[in-house]
């Protein structure tokens, strides 16, 4: 039974319970203490993750390899950033409660289990744990009707997606005879022997996971939920909970279904193209920055899917680097969006950013860096992710994908640059409230990463390469 | 023969009540038909020899989940005619999705062969002397322990969620503090007051209930020894 | 002859009917007389005489009551959901009788000696709430509805702790078969071992499960008139009444089987048959019901919920863990190789 392999998850889960107990038993408000503890626990878990060896545990239900370690570190980083940036926002919105960091930690446990899944059941359990916590977080501002709506919408649609996923899993199980990834891979070794049932199963599994990724055509919930949920939660939703389903998708497609590439590649290509197109065109008309970020995330998932569609090891490496830069950029942009409040009220219109450069040059510059990076302007971090996935597509001979990717990137530049134009060239309005130090720390750290990633990308590229090799090895 | 008859009877009732769940006009009747469906499913489990699953299905779904369904449906007074209003408008979209799904499923179905003897297709057969309760326990707490614990965490998150989203620490209702009740002594609660004969307590400035935190006002010293016990408002 | 009863369809059917009657007839007579003894016991507690007019010592009183309810008119209120209104009392009564199928009245004497007897009983007792909910809803009356709502919340809450009590007993026995549960108590009755606190929890939860005083809020005659059966009359009312008492006897039987050694004879008095001992233990627990009713005032609703969720649930959970730990430490965990 090799418990040690799951030590990071165990430590994280048990500490989350401890923090919860601490919060419940203390009579005074202990949100700050719980948040600090949550960050500390994430750091300890990250150290444990680095230390775990490569092996399988729990009778093959759970696997730890370079790929899972890379994804777990990414998930933990995203969680820490969001826990920190939510602290100030929540207390100013009067929704700060000690359960908030606890739910984020439990969600992180789910995501880590997902990235270590070596069995379709483990995958599903992790996914549900992750999603259930996020549903609650989305409705966290329970007195705000929009937040309640966001939570409900996300819950209902996501439950449907989980149903599709389960249905896919049951079909895959029925037609391959196992839930275990390696046994499924053996069972479907010969692409000629793949039945229609398995193909339908794969399609349903992709649909379920694509919903969590908010890839077109399963994206409908994204703008509304992003807009309605508290911004701190939106920030969380656009970082770690995007990474986990993606790495699971990678593992499922290249693990059990690695021999039946022909069955899933067209679906992924289609989803990827649709996401890139919708993400770039639908975002143009947006006036709300949170909705803009929602469409932007749809687009980004489309770009990242290009790497998966390529179906090669370089493609996976590209995806992993893309996810890394995406998490950092997203957390950074949201730390700027969270700072948008005037006279105690949170504002989220793009017009509210008007002339920000004159009032708060640091914030404007940081947001500009993130927008440029999201648009894929060299030499910022976002450029490398896009470069690697497009390169992988070209290497795999998928010219159409690469060309559509580049063209939609150009289109998406329009709305990213519009934000920058509004901040730097429009008439200034009243300044924002003084932002807290925790936000500045997150924004500066992520900004610095985005800015100087190109100077020394080798360790990250190396880690991504190792992780990708683990998936194919 | 009995088993076959029982199987068809239970299956028929199951399908019939499942259909009634969807078609009943009254939501309470729908839930009750749902319960009937659960019951027949449990009976089918019994026929298949899965007695543990059958009992758990009744305990969990009928005994707990459906009670809450019924609770909610009775309390909410859902107007189903209003809910059905959009039916005509969304029917084409729903029908399209339904047709697509149907054809996908049909394509799967066409690939199927009917197996003559289902029991031959069982992959792992239990030794006949092992009860299936024990057999489930043997794998659930060993091979699938990780999943078992994860489901526990999922339920915990659901519970935290329910509390976070609905619990309001209202202090308008009176609460019982058992420790305080136990520690209370007679002289903190009861006060012996001597009242002048013929004078009401109103005249003495004593009101019931005495407002919290205010000492009772004693009027002029009493002349007659009449003791009244005034309970102080808790 | 033996072959006829084990292989022939008709024979099996006849045998089953005979077994059912052999169990149900004594239970129903016992039920009728438990109403009589309750009135006598309450009267004694309150220094009254109780029913003493019909027959010697009032012994024919239950039959007089039966004749009365049979001859009255069943009234279905206007606006009530007729079919459900009539279904509810039948459901309550049938469920109370169903549970008797698995109670072992002597060694290996049970109408159905099934592997999952404990779960079956738990399942049946968790269904009891439906009769009450349906009655409350179908009556189309606010008192009935309030009673039903209270009852649903109450029974679901106390089922949780009863569940843990059952799990603890299962741990000590290593089987879900009720006959095995009784056999495991051949040396020590569970009520007088480590499980004593669970026995107390069971006794109190049993009161709540059967909606008896001091947890009779669903009836709550001082505030809800008669709670969920306020609209019932004649035979439909009688069925609720019968159901309640049958349930009480059933819970007493369950308590005896789980904690008081079922048909096991105390002090080595094995020459007296087990059936008698089970009946005696049931009578003791039934008296407990009456005694509590005469002694305690009704709980307030929040006190009831508090007791269930904040006292019994943690206590039974803790005791479950302690028991499991104790059995594991002393190596007495009953285990069979697969």
Residue B231, strand partner residues: B190
Percentage of residues in chain B having pLDDT higher than 70:
69
- pLDDT computed for residue B28 by the predictor: 83
Yes or no: say if A246 and A70 are a contact pair by the CB < 8 Å rule: no
For an interface test with C, give the residue of B5, B63, B131 to mutate (most C CBs within 10 A): B63
Confidence label for B228 from pLDDT (cuts 50, 70 and 90):
very low
- pLDDT computed for residue A95 by the predictor: 85
What is the pLDDT tens value at each position of chain A, 473 positions in all? 678 888 999 999 999 999 999 988 887 778 888 999 999 999 999 999 998 988 888 888 899 999 999 999 999 999 999 999 888 888 888 888 888 999 999 999 999 999 999 999 999 999 999 999 999 999 998 888 999 999 999 999 999 999 999 999 998 998 888 889 988 888 888 777 678 788 889 999 999 999 999 998 888 899 999 999 999 999 999 999 999 999 999 999 998 888 888 888 999 999 999 999 999 999 888 899 999 999 999 999 999 999 999 988 999 999 999 999 999 999 999 999 988 888 888 888 888 888 888 888 899 999 999 999 999 888 899 999 999 999 999 999 889 999 999 999 999 999 999 999 999 998 888 888 888 888 899 999 999 999 998 888 899 999 999 999 998 87
The shortest CB-CB distance from A106 to any of B104, B108, B157 is to: B157
Average pLDDT over every residue of B44-59: 87
Say whether C123 and B59 touch across the interface (CB within 8 A): yes
Of the candidate ranges A406-415, A459-468, B71-80, C168-177, the one whose mean pLDDT is the lowest? B71-80
Interchain contact B68–C (C-beta under 8 A): yes
CA closest to C137 among chain B residues: B74
**What value does the mean pLDDT of chain B take?**
77
Confidence label for B118 from pLDDT (cuts 50, 70 and 90):
low
Confidence label for B173 from pLDDT (cuts 50, 70 and 90):
low
- The tokens 């592997």 sit on which residue? C115
- pLDDT computed for residue B213 by the predictor: 56
Say whether C133 and B51 touch across the interface (CB within 8 A): no
Confidence label for B227 from pLDDT (cuts 50, 70 and 90):
very low
Q: Which domain holds residue A29?
A: 3-472
Give the gap in angstroms from C-alpha C126 to the nearest C-alpha of chain B: 5
User: In A, which residues are within 8 Å of B140 by CB distance?
Assistant: none
For an interface test with B, give the residue of C129, C146, C163 to mutate (most B CBs within 10 A): C129
Say whether B154 and A132 touch across the interface (CB within 8 A): yes
Percentage of residues in chain C having pLDDT higher than 70:
96
CA atoms of A470 and B107, how far apart (whole Å)? 36
Q: What is the CA radius of gyration of chain C?
A: 21
CA atoms of C28 and B232, how far apart (whole Å)? 52
Quick: pLDDT tens for B10-46: 999 999 999 998 888 888 888 889 999 998 999 998 8
Residue C79's φ and ψ, nearest 5 degrees, are 85, -5
10 Å CB burial of residue C12 (0-12, 13-18, 19+) is middle
pLDDT of C10 above 50: yes
Residue window 13-32, chain B: list those with CB within 8 Å of chain C. Answer: 28, 32
- pLDDT computed for residue A74 by the predictor: 94
Give the gap in angstroms from C-alpha C119 to the nearest C-alpha of chain B: 6
Interface of B with A (CB under 8 A): 104-105, 107-108, 110-111, 123, 142-147, 150-151, 153-154, 156-158, 160-161, 163-166
Average pLDDT over every residue of C188-209: 86
Give me the residue spans of the domains in chain C.
Answer: 72-337
Average pLDDT over every residue of B96-116: 77
Q: Which SS3 state, helix, strand or coil, does residue B127 take?
A: coil
Yes or no: say if C194 and C323 are a contact pair by the CB < 8 Å rule: yes
- In chain A, how many domains are there? 1
Confidence label for B119 from pLDDT (cuts 50, 70 and 90):
low
Higher pLDDT, A349 or B187: A349
Helical spans, DSSP H, in C99-226: 117-138, 142-173, 178-183, 196-209, 221-224
Other Cβ atoms closer than 10 A to C156: 17
Say whether B153 and A102 touch across the interface (CB within 8 A): no
Quick: pLDDT tens for C229-239: 777 888 888 88
User: In A, which residues are within 8 Å of B105 by CB distance?
Assistant: 200
Yes or no: say if A404 and A273 are a contact pair by the CB < 8 Å rule: yes
Say whether A129 and B143 touch across the interface (CB within 8 A): no
Q: Which SS3 state, helix, strand or coil, does residue A97 take?
A: coil
Say whether B131 and C303 touch across the interface (CB within 8 A): no
Interchain contact B75–C (C-beta under 8 A): yes
The shortest CB-CB distance from A132 to any of B104, B161, B164 is to: B161
Average pLDDT over every residue of C122-128: 86
């Amino acid at each position: 039974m090799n418990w040690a392999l799951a030590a990071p998850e165990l430590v994280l889960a048990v500490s989350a319970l401890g923090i919860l107990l601490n919060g419940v038993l203390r009579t005074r408000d202990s949100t700050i203490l719980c948040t600090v503890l949550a960050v500390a626990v994430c750091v300890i878990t990250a150290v444990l993750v680095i230390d775990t060896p490569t092996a399988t545990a729990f009778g093959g239900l759970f696997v730890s390899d370079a790929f899972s370690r890379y994804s777990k570190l990414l998930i933990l980083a995203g969680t820490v950033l969001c826990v920190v940036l939510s602290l100030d926002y929540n207390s100013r919105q009067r929704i700060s409660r000690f359960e908030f960091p606890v739910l984020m930690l439990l969600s992180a446990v789910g995501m880590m289990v997902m990235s270590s899944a070596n069995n379709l059941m483990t995958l599903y359990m992790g996914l549900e744990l992750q999603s259930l916590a996020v549903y609650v977080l989305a409705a966290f501002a329970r007195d705000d009707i929009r937040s309640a709506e966001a939570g409900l919408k996300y819950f209902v649609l996501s439950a449907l997606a989980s149903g599709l996923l389960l249905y896919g899993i049951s079909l895959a199980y029925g037609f391959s005879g196992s839930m275990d990834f390696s046994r499924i891979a053996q069972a479907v070794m010969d692409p000629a022997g793949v039945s229609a049932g398995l193909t339908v199963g794969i399609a349903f599994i992709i649909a379920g996971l694509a919903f969590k990724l908010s890839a077109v055509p399963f994206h409908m919930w994204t703008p509304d939920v992003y807009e309605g949920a508290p911004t701190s939660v939106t920030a969380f939703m656009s970082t770690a909970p995007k990474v986990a389903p993606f790495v699971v998708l990678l593992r499922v497609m290249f693990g059990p279904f690695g021999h039946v590439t022909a069955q899933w590649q067209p679906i992924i290509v289609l989803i990827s193209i649709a996401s890139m197109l919708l993400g770039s065109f639908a975002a143009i008309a947006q006036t709300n920055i949170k909705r803009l970020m929602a469409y932007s995330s749809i687009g980004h998932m489309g770009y990242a899917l290009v790497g998966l569609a390529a179906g090669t090891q370089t493609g996976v490496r590209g995806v992993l680097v893309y996810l890394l830069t995406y998490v950092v950029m997203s957390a950074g942009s949201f730390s700027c969006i969270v700072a948008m409040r005037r006279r105690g009220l949170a504002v989220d219109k793009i017009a509210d950013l008007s002339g920000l450069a004159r009032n708060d040059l640091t914030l404007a510059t940081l947001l500009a860096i993130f927008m440029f990076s999201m648009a894929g302007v060299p030499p910022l971090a976002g450029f490398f992710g896009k470069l690697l996935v497009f390169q992988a597509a070209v290497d795999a001979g998928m010219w159409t994908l690469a060309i559509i990717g580049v063209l939609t990137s150009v289109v998406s530049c329009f709305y990213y640059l519009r934000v920058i134009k509004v901040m730097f060239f429009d008439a200034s309005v009243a300044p924002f409230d003084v932002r807290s130090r925790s936000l500045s720390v997150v924004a500066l750290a992520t900004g610095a990463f985005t800015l100087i990633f190109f100077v020394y990308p080798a360790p990250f590229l190396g880690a991504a390469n190792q992780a990708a090799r683990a998936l194919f090895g | 023969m009995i088993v076959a008859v029982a199987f068809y009877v239970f299956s028929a009732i199951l399908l019939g009540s499942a259909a009634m769940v969807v078609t009943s006009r009254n939501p309470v009747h729908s839930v009750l038909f749902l319960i009937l469906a659960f019951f027949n499913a449990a009976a089918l489990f019994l026929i298949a020899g899965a007695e543990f699953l059958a009992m758990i299905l009744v305990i969990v779904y009928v005994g707990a989940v459906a009670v809450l369904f019924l609770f909610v449906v009775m309390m909410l007074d859902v107007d189903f005619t209003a809910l059905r209003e959009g039916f005509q408008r969304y029917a084409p979209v729903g029908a399209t999705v339904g047709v697509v799904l149907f054809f996908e499923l049909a394509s799967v179905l066409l690939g199927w062969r009917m197996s003559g003897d289902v029991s031959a297709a069982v992959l792992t057969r239990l030794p006949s002397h092992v009860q299936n309760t024990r057999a489930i326990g043997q794998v659930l707490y060993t091979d699938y322990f990780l999943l078992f614990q994860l489901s526990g965490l999922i339920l915990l998150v659901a519970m935290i969620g329910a509390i976070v989203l609905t619990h309001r620490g209202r202090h308008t209702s009176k609460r019982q503090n058992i420790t305080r009740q136990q520690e209370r002594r007679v002289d903190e609660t009861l006060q012996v007051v001597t009242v002048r004969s013929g004078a009401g307590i109103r005249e003495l400035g004593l009101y019931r209930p005495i407002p919290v935190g205010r000492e009772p006002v004693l009027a002029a010293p009493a002349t007659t020894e009449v003791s009244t016990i005034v309970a102080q408002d808790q | 002859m033996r072959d006829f009863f084990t292989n022939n369809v008709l024979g099996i059917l006849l045998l089953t009917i005979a077994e059912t009657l052999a169990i149900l007839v004594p239970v129903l007579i016992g039920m009728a007389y438990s109403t009589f003894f309750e009135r006598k016991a309450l009267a004694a507690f309150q220094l009254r005489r109780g029913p003493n007019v019909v027959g010697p010592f009032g012994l024919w009183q239950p039959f007089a009551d039966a004749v009365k309810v049979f001859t009255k008119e069943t009234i279905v209120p206007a606006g009530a959901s007729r079919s459900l209104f009539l279904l509810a009392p039948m459901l309550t009564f049938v469920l109370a009788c169903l549970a008797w199928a698995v109670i072992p009245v002597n060694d290996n004497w049970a109408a159905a000696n099934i592997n999952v007897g404990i779960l079956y009983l738990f399942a049946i007792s968790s269904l009891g709430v439906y009769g009450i909910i349906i009655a409350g809803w179908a009556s189309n009356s606010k008192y009935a509805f309030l009673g039903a709502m209270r009852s649903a919340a109450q029974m679901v809450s106390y089922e949780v702790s009863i569940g843990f009590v059952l799990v603890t007993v299962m741990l000590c026995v290593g089987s879900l078969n009720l006959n095995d549960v009784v056999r495991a108590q051949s040396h020590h009755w569970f009520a007088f071992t480590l499980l004593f606190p669970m026995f107390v929890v069971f006794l109190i939860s049993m009161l709540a499960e059967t909606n008896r005083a001091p947890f009779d809020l669903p009836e709550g005659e001082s505030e809800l008139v008669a709670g969920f059966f306020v609209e019932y009359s004649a035979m439909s009312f009688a069925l609720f009444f019968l159901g309640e008492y049958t349930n009480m006897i059933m819970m007493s039987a369950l308590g005896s089987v789980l904690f008081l050694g079922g048909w096991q004879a105390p002090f080595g008095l094995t020459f007296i048959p087990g059936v008698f001992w089970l009946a005696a233990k049931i009578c003791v627990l039934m008296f407990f019901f009456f005694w509590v009713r005469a002694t305690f005032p009704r709980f307030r609703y929040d006190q009831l919920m508090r007791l269930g969720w904040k006292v019994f649930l943690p206590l039974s959970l803790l005791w479950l863990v302690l028991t499991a730990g104790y059995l594991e430490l002393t190596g007495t965990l009953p285990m069979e190789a697969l």
